[in-house]
């Protein structure tokens, strides 16, 4: 799904094409809207909403950021993309796949620095994988530029980066998530790349055609912190830019393809390789940030199979 701007309000629940079984998709879109915090109807029924994409933007111009988030609650969804005034025109598009019989968990933390803020997750069930439901990240001392927002699970812990170039501001986050059994997963993988204009796409042929949800993501400016005009993440695209569209950035996505029917028998899970998948771990989080002549290089994220 290539992200695009929609100028309507829409809530959709339907069948995933070609499966012959119910695969619910629910979305909400609006543009332009006053203010940067919104609560919209978003009924998820008895299933768990697994995040497939989000797209948040200021209509014009770009601004500082105090809070960013897309967080379903069961009957509605809280969407935030605002500075401290909360009086700017914004737009948004969010999509989730509703999946039955998987847990809905939540983790939250307050940190004195947005530099690799870590909290423990609920115990991971055997043969399951982490999937995002939604998130909120907020500066507690006013609005700021943004250098990086990233959310990943690593060895049962949640790792969140949210800050400007100094990563020295008090921040808080909440992340809702699920543990999806591997029997309900067809394939999974990751990709990442850099760009000079604020937008990158997954390599051609990288993604399957089934329902895909997000396990983790990173979006960061490479040269400095900046205003934000748009932040968007989907399985095949990451956008992070201000009004100039001229700042180097990097985006990364870890994705998972759901089996079309949770009660069916999906093919064996494929983790970009023809082998029985061992547990996954993420390298790089233990590395401290490196400052080289004023250039901040965040850790390189890579997902490797344990021997």
pLDDT, tens digit, 9 for 90 and up, residues 285-304:
333 332 222 222 333 333 33
Q: Which phi and psi (to 5°) does residue 182 adopt? A: -65, -25
Instruction: Determine the length of the chain.
Output: 307
**pLDDT value for 58:** 81
Structural domains of the chain, with CATH = 24-305 (2.60.120.690)
pLDDT, tens digit, 9 for 90 and up, residues 143-176:
667 878 889 999 899 988 887 676 776 788 999 9
In this prediction, the residues of the chain whose per-residue pLDDT falls under 50 are: 2, 4-22, 264-307
């Amino acid at each position: 799904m290539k992200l695009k701007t929609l100028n309507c309000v829409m809530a959709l629940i339907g069948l995933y094409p070609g499966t012959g079984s119910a695969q619910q998709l629910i979305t909400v879109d609006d543009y332009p809207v006053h203010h940067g915090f919104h609560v919209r109807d978003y009924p998820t029924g008895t299933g768990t909403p697994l995040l497939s994409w989000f797209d948040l933007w200021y209509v014009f111009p770009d601004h500082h950021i105090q809070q960013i988030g897309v967080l379903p609650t069961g009957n509605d969804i809280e969407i935030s993309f605002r500075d401290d005034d909360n009086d700017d025109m914004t737009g948004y598009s969010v999509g989730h796949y509703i999946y039955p019989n998987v847990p809905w968990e939540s983790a939250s933390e307050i940190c004195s620095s947005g530099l690799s803020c870590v909290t423990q997750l609920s115990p991971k069930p055997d043969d399951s994988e982490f999937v995002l439901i939604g998130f909120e990240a907020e500066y507690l001392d006013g609005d700021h530029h943004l250098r990086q927002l990233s959310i990943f699970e690593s060895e049962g812990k949640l790792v969140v980066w949210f800050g400007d170039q100094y990563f020295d501001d008090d921040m808080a986050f909440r992340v809702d998530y699920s543990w999806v059994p591997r029997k309900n997963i067809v394939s999974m993988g990751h990709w990442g790349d850099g760009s000079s204009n604020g937008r990158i796409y997954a390599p051609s042929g990288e993604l399957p055609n089934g329902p895909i949800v997000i396990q983790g993501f990173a979006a960061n400016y490479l040269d400095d912190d900046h205003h934000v005009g748009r932040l968007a993440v989907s399985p095949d695209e990451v956008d992070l830019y201000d009004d100039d569209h001229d700042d180097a950035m990097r985006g990364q996505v870890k994705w998972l393809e759901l089996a079309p029917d949770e009660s069916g028998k999906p093919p064996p899970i494929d983790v970009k390789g023809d082998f029985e998948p061992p547990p996954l771990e993420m390298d790089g989080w233990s590395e401290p940030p490196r400052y080289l002549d004023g250039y901040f290089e965040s850790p390189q994220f890579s997902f490797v199979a344990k021997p």
